[in-house]
Amino acid sequence: MKSKVLEWFGVVTAIMYSMMVALNIGVEFTGFLLLLVSAFSIGFWAYLGKHKGILFLQFFYATAGVIGMVRWY
């Protein structure tokens, strides 16, 4: 059950991130924060499920989230 919550929470926050940035409505910092949250959630889900490729990808998404927050702050 915890695994499904992590997976879908990560998916929903990633969708919210992409819409916030794509709409260009001035909430980019919040969007990148959601990307970081999504990366941690999906990363933990991937770790629990031994999905090594997805876990590796989340490191890059988390990095992009941090870079985005720094650049938009």
pLDDT at residue 2, as a whole number:
82
Mean pLDDT, the chain, rounded, equals 95
Q: Encode burial over 29-49: b for 16+ CB neighbours within 10 A, e otherwise.
A: eebbbbbbbbbbbbbbbbeee
- C-alpha span between 28 and 51 (Å, rounded): 29
pTM: 0.92
